[in-house]
Structures are given as C-alpha cells and as structure tokens.
Amino acid sequence: MSVASGRACPYQPYAMSTHNTTPPNAAPRSRLEPDDIGPLVERLRKGERRAIAQVITELERLSSAAPDLLKALQPHLGHALVAGFTGPPGAGKSTLVNAVIDHLRKQGRTVGVIAVDPSSPISGGAILGDRIRMTAALDDDGVFVRSLASRGYLGGLSPAAVRIIDAMDGAGFDIILLETVGTGQNEIDVAEVADIRIVMSAPGLGDDIQAMKSGLLEIADIMVVNKGDRPGAEQTMQQLLGALSIRATMSGKVPVLKTSAISGEGVPKLIEAIDAIGKTVAAKGAKDRRRRRARYLIARAAADLVAARIKAGGAGGLDPLADAVLSGTMSPDEAARSVLREAD
C-alpha cells in the first residue's frame, strides 16, 4: 500500500495579544524554493507518487510553500468526485471503504482515499489505524491512501482534508473517498466537504436511530446498513426507512441499502447509487462544490483565528470583557464582536 503523509483559501492562524501587536505565527518552513513549485506540480499531474506525497505533506502542514502550491493546482481542479463516508463508531466504515476500493479498481477507476482518525487530546497524534484495514490498496498504483489526524476538530474532519482533496484531484484521481471520524449527530462537517454523503449504520450498535437521527439523517444522500449479514440488519433497515418517511422532503429520495463489507454483498449497488448521484453532481458543475469547500475553510479559519486570539491573551486578556458583561455594560455578543475586531 502506498501511503503518504485540499483547496481553497490557505490561511495561517494568528496568535494575537490583547492589543493586536503580535505578528502572525510564521508558517512552517518548507524546503521548496519558488522555482520548485511548477516542476513539482507537473510531476504530481503525471501521477508520480513521491510528488503526490510531497505536495500533500506541504499542504497538510500549511508550510510556507502551501499558498504557491494551491495556486498552481487551481487550473487542474474539479475533475474528481468526493464521496464521504460517515456514521457512528463501529459501523464498519473502513472495512466498507476497503470493499468499495476493490470494486472501483475492478472497474478501472483510480481512487484517492483520505481516512481521518481521532487525535489524542494529550499528544495531538493519531493511531492512523485505517490504513491497516484498507488491504485493497496494497501494492496498487491506482490507489493512494492518506491517513490524517482530526487534530481536535469536532466535526469528524480537519481543514487539512480539504487541501488534500485538492492535491488528489490535481493528481487526476477519478474518485476520492473521504472517511470521517466516527461521528455523533452534530459532527457533520462531511456535508460541507463531500459531493456525495454516505451515512452508515449497523445492527447491534445499541440505539440505532438515536445514533443516526437529526443531523446525520438530514445530510444523507445514501443510507447504508453495513454488516447486513448480522441478526437485526433488517430491523435496522426498517427503522431507517421509517425515520426517513417521517421527513416528507426526504422520503423516496434517499436510497437505503444493505451491505456486507466482508462478503461484498450490496457493494455493487452502493457504487451504482454513488454513480447515479455523481452524474447529477457533475451536471451542476465543479464551481459550486468547490465554493462549498472554500466556505468551510473560511469558517474554520475564522474560528481558529478567534481561538488563537483567546489563547494568546489568556484568561487575563478576557477579564475586562468578562467584567463588562457582568456589569451589564456589554452583552456577550458585543464582547465576542470585540474579540473578532481585535483578531482582524
């Protein structure tokens, strides 16, 4: 398996003092010189794996070369379809993605995979175990897998995933599979990033619908009951169909499929459903879906900017604002706007 360490507006988080006098944090230094950018992108465009790995690494860490790399990639983006797999822990996301890779490769399609693993709250690192389970990618030059730590982001993704999407898109992969951290109902960043959202469940997870209700049901383009050979799979199917039927706008529009990632049962039908929705997505053009991912990056950048401002100022930096709120001379919203102005 070849494993190496996406778009939109690159940004650098700012660490600012309460008086907005501290300069922004410097980007990690890159070994790339400006004259290296063009040849490196050309090598990536030709599918050279080392070049793909190098570009992904630079973009993930937002090095000093990342802005120039993103700019050089822009004319080559918009080809790949991004299919996001999300759902609660234990649904078998990695195993199903592995089965999907296998079937796509049999069809002759090239596949990029971004597997997001949860980060340690202490070290910030991740086990990156998804790459171990994706055996279909072993020794296959038509598959490129990148494991990625969530780095504490709570939406099941990190902004680095979007930049890596751009790198894989620029490298010419036909489809990019994005596997998120096991999510709850509020962790739905995949809706902003993926072109097609596959929401997964499985029998035996306890309260099946509780894990799938609200947000996850609403973002689904395809519902999948994985581990379909287990007892209770049909009951879970009926629960999902019932939940969808309550939502009049969704009933009849969201296919509910049963799969077994181990045996491969139902995987061809899943790929057919992805392709059918993909045609509709492609007909709308690449600009809209790339704009959606850019909006996600901008929102995350703004949140990071404010978080860095608060962290740099410490509790003492916020005390005057807190006192103003307590005295009634300022509302919490006004205090928040003050923080935003100082982070500008």
Q: What is the pLDDT of residue 298?
A: 84
Tokens 């078998």, residue located: 92
Strongest mean pLDDT among 4-13, 153-162, 244-253, 270-279: 270-279
Say which range, 104-108, 127-131, 265-269, has the weakest mean pLDDT: 127-131
Cβ(101)–Cβ(134) below 8 Å: yes
Q: What percent of the chain has pLDDT over 70?
A: 74
**Rounded average pLDDT over 11-26:** 37
Domains in the chain, please, with CATH? 77-283 (3.40.50.300), 295-343 (no CATH)
The order of strands in the sheet holding 222-225 is 143-149, 111-117, 175-179, 81-86, 196-201, 222-225, 256-258
Summarised one tens digit per residue, pLDDT across range 229-246 is: 888 888 888 888 877 776
**CA-CA-CA-CA torsion for 89, 94, 96, 99, nearest 10 degrees?**
-170
CA 240 → CA 90, 210, 221, 229, 267, distances in Å?
A: 17, 11, 13, 17, 19
Q: Which residues of 29-46 are buried (b: 16+ CB within 10 A; e: fewer)?
A: ebebeeeebeebbebbbe
Phi and psi at residue 14, in whole multiples of 5°?
A: -105, 140
Instruction: Residue 83: name the closest of 170, 198, 187 by CA.
Output: 198
Cβ(126)–Cβ(117) below 8 Å: yes
Alpha carbons 170 and 165: distance in angstroms, whole number: 8
Asked whether the predicted pLDDT for residue 257 surpasses 90, the reply is: yes
Summarised one tens digit per residue, pLDDT across range 140-157 is: 889 999 988 766 555 556
**Rounded average pLDDT over 319-344:** 83
Tokens 């490196």, residue located: 40
Q: What is the pLDDT of residue 187?
A: 55
Say which range, 41-45, 186-190, 323-327, has the weakest mean pLDDT: 186-190
Asked whether the predicted pLDDT for residue 212 surpasses 80, the reply is: no
Q: What is the pLDDT of residue 3?
A: 41
Asked whether the predicted pLDDT for residue 101 surpasses 90, the reply is: yes
